[in-house]
């Protein structure tokens, strides 16, 4: 299926709309099939009545959450990136020259926040439609792992989004494959989405998100800490793309131990795979100490070097003999 077909309003959407729009206003937007859900939020394939444009529309039982996410996305759209100082608890951020004029290309595009004063429950946060689903679905589909070029492209795009965000004094706080959307397959192109929990540098707050992607310092402090959290989560995401997620049982104790398990697994991969570029990338992203962890702009440059190096689509990663990766989670 090509992009045009995947993004079209289908007969299935039209049928689903009969159910999803009961009691709602359809003067401006019509909700089709569900694309995803989490917490109090549901994302729909959404038809704009005025011109037939198909978008993604997010609803929430907490309208204030949609307003906050719309404000954040508005700040992140179409703004030239400029270095900002970090607070005293983080290292100063200076963008490398190749990134100094970085534009936002890999954060989901914001369209509008829709309110209907006559029918408040019809409110939607409208964004671009990414017709090929989530990175998580892609990871689940491939066996045993994604191809090298695809992996590097995805990491590059996420790192660019994070470099842009971090340079604006913000961090995402919930990076994971389910929050990465595929705009296209060939060539692969992704955007970072679900910006509802974006935080400013120095802002911590109660832990949210998926525990398997929490950094060691998040587990220790029981709070969000800063941009290094995003980089750890990108490292765990990369483990999944290359078929190297360590096994995990969903118990409190096992979740607490998971950062250590990921770190030790990457250390072992480093011993078994000297000189393999993706393993060096993992080692930098999953450094145990936050101050030693690879930063987003460093990751962009490192991936660029790996893309320029010779190599086929095989990863060439040797795993520990007894290792069995976790999948479909």
pLDDT for 30-59, tens place per residue? 999 999 998 789 999 999 999 999 999 999
pLDDT value of position 251: 87
Q: Calculate the average pLDDT of the chain.
A: 90
For residues 68 and 155, membership in a common domain is answered with: no
Q: What is the CATH number of the domain that holds 59?
A: 3.30.200.20
pLDDT value of position 36: 93
pTM of the model: 0.90
Instruction: Describe the crossing of helices 227-241 and 252-272 by its angle, rounded to 10 degrees.
Output: 70
- 74's tokens: 């508005």
| Distance from C-alpha of 269 to C-alpha of 258, rounded to nearest angstrom | 16
| Distance from C-alpha of 103 to C-alpha of 219, rounded to nearest angstrom | 33
For residues 159 and 39, membership in a common domain is answered with: no
For residues 161 and 121, membership in a common domain is answered with: no
Residue 162 lies in a domain: yes
pLDDT value of position 314: 84
pLDDT over 90 at 312, yes or no:
no
| Distance from C-alpha of 31 to C-alpha of 322, rounded to nearest angstrom | 48
Q: Which long-range contacts (CB under 8 A, 24 or more apart) does 202-208 make?
A: 202/87, 202/89, 202/226, 208/173, 208/174
Q: How confident is the model over 120-147, as a mean pLDDT?
A: 95
- 107's tokens: 């954060």
* Contacts of residue 107, Cβ cutoff 8 Å, sequence gap at least 6: 73, 76, 77, 161, 164, 165, 191, 192, 193, 195
pLDDT over 60 at 180, yes or no:
yes
pLDDT value of position 88: 33
- Give percent of the chain above pLDDT 90: 77
Domain boundary among the residues 105, 127, 149 is at: 127
For residues 123 and 25, membership in a common domain is answered with: yes
> Among 15-24, 107-116, 249-258, 317-326, which stretch is predicted with the lowest mean pLDDT?
249-258
Q: What are the tens digits of pLDDT across the range 225-248?
A: 999 999 999 999 999 999 999 998
Q: How confident is the model over 171-194, as a mean pLDDT?
A: 96
Q: What is the CATH number of the domain that holds 285?
A: 1.10.510.10
- The most confident of the ranges 72-81, 97-106, 201-210, 211-220 is 211-220
Would you give the DSSP letter of residue 301?
Answer: H
For 116-135, give one letter per residue: b (16+ CB within 10 A) or e. Answer: beeeeebbbbbbbbbbbebb
pLDDT value of position 39: 79
Would you give the DSSP letter of residue 242?
Answer: T
Residue 313 lies in a domain: no
Helix (H, G, I), strand (E, B) or coil at 228: helix
Number of domains in the chain: 2
Residue 303 lies in a domain: yes
| Distance from C-alpha of 46 to C-alpha of 52, rounded to nearest angstrom | 10
| Distance from C-alpha of 225 to C-alpha of 97, rounded to nearest angstrom | 27
Q: Give the domain extent around 26.
A: 3-79+97-127
For residues 116 and 201, membership in a common domain is answered with: no
Residue 56 lies in a domain: yes
| Distance from C-alpha of 12 to C-alpha of 109, rounded to nearest angstrom | 25
What backbone phi and psi angles, to 5 degrees, belong to 226?
160, -165
For residues 107 and 145, membership in a common domain is answered with: no
Residue 316 lies in a domain: no
């Amino acid at each position: 299926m090509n992009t045009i077909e995947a993004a079209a309003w289908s007969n299935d959407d039209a049928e689903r709309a009969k159910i999803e729009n009961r009691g709602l206003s359809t003067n401006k937007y019509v909700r089709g099939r569900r694309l995803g859900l989490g917490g109090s939020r549901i994302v729909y394939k959404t038809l704009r009545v005025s011109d037939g444009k198909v978008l993604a529309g997010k609803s929430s039982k907490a309208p204030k959450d949609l307003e906050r996410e719309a404000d954040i996305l508005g700040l992140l759209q179409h703004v030239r990136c400029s270095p900002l100082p970090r607070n005293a608890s983080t290292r100063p951020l200076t963008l490398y020259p190749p990134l100094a004029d970085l534009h936002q290309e890999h954060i989901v595009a914001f369209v509008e926040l829709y309110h209907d004063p006559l029918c408040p429950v019809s409110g939607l946060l409208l964004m671009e439609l990414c017709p090929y689903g989530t990175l998580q679905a892609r990871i689940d589909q491939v066996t045993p792992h994604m191809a090298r070029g695809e992996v590097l492209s995805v990491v590059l795009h996420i790192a660019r989004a994070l470099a842009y965000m971090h340079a604006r004094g913000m961090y995402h706080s919930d990076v994971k494959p389910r929050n990465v959307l595929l705009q296209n397959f060939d060539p692969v192109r992704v955007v970072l989405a679900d910006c509802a929990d974006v935080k400013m540098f120095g802002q911590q707050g109660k832990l949210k998100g998926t525990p398997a992607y929490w950094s060691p310092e998040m587990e220790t402090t029981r709070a969000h800490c800063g941009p290094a959290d995003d980089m750890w989560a990108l490292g765990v995401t990369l483990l999944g793309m290359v078929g190297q997620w360590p096994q995990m049982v969903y118990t409190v104790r096992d979740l607490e131990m998971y950062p250590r398990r990921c770190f030790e697994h990457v250390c072992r991969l480093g011993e078994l795979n000297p000189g393999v570029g993706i393993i060096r990338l993992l080692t930098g992203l999953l450094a145990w100490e936050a101050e030693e962890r690879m930063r987003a702009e460093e990751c962009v440059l490192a991936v660029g070097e790996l893309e320029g190096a010779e190599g086929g689509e095989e990863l060439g990663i040797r795993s520990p003999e007894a290792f069995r990766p976790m999948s479909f989670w």
